[in-house]
Amino acid sequence: MTTKVLRPRASLWTLRITLLLHAGLVVAQPILAGYFLSGEVDAMDAHGPIGSTLWVISMLQFVAALFYWLAGGGRLWPMLVTAVLFVAEFVQLTYGYLQNFAVHVPLGTAIVVTVVWMTVWSFRPAARRGRKEPSR
Amino acid sequence: MMSLAVLRLVAVTHAAAICLQPILAGVYLNGTGGAQRIHEPVGLAVAAVATIQLLVATIWWRSGGRLTAPLVSLLVLIGESVQIGMGYSRELALHLPLGIALVGAVVGFAVWTRRQQAASS
């Protein structure tokens, strides 16, 4: 008979909600930066505080990914990628305040692409499968 | 199949070229004006590669590949055309987010082509 395989459900939804919040905020950043560079100086009043908060979201996402891996039986890599994101967002925040754009602009691009890609992945069937199952 | 191998090569070249753009833009914003003089021709070259990619993707689709490839390539080409226009007209509020979306789409497409199986003929 088939044995019951552990599949993430509640932990996956927690991860998805965190990712949606993360993606929403991270996507706002280049838009706000673009408005700022176009001369709308007020846009920085939102860009700065959001950027200063993103690494906290990454911490929450790390906890969600930990539960997804341990309690939910999901894969390990979302937790590892989130750890990298946490460091990257901290570096990004530092270079933003230093106004070193040669790092800030490309690193920001990489962060946005990574977070959006993870969010899309979390809603695909692969995210629902437990790590003990064949990945097809 | 031959056309898939070419598509993969074009897609990887496209991805490498477009990844230069945020770096050059950042160097320019740091005060190095020369970076903008590279940002412009690279941007035009990226759109040229996108046109080649659309052509190769269409050939691959017609010889047993997937329709997704030319569709995505077409959308990317349209996006890059808008991006170039917004760059010249200094519409940075659109140029920045659209640029990031294009980097994501082009890199994602290159990864996607690696995962496609060549159709058995």
Model confidence, pTM: 0.91
ipTM of the complex model: 0.87
CA distance B20 to chain A (A): 9
pLDDT tens for B14-61 read 999 999 999 999 999 999 989 999 999 999 999 999 999 999 999 999
pLDDT tens for A19-51 read 999 999 999 999 999 999 999 999 999 999 999
CB contact under 8 A, B96 and A34: yes
CB contact under 8 A, A106 and B96: no
pLDDT for B119:
58
Q: How far apart are CA B63 and CA B57, in angstroms?
A: 10
Q: How far apart are CA B22 and CA B99, in angstroms?
A: 8
pLDDT for A3:
61
Q: Which chain B residues are within 8 Å of A34, Cβ to Cβ?
A: 92-97
CA distance B43 to chain A (A): 15
Going from N- to C-terminal start, the domains of chain B cover 2-114
**Cβ–Cβ < 8 Å for A58, A82:** yes
| Strand ranges inside chain B, DSSP E | none
Which of A40, A100, A117 comes nearest B108 by C-beta?
A117
Q: What is the mean pLDDT of chain B?
A: 94
Which residues of chain A carry a pLDDT beneath 70?
1-4, 135-136
pLDDT for B104:
97
Closest CA to B56 of B76, B42, B32: B76
pLDDT for A2:
57
Going from N- to C-terminal start, the domains of chain A cover 10-128
Question: Could you tell me the two tokens for A36?
Answer: 């700022």
pLDDT for B121:
45
Q: How far apart are CA A71 and CA A65, in angstroms?
A: 10
CB atoms within 10 A of CB A29: 22
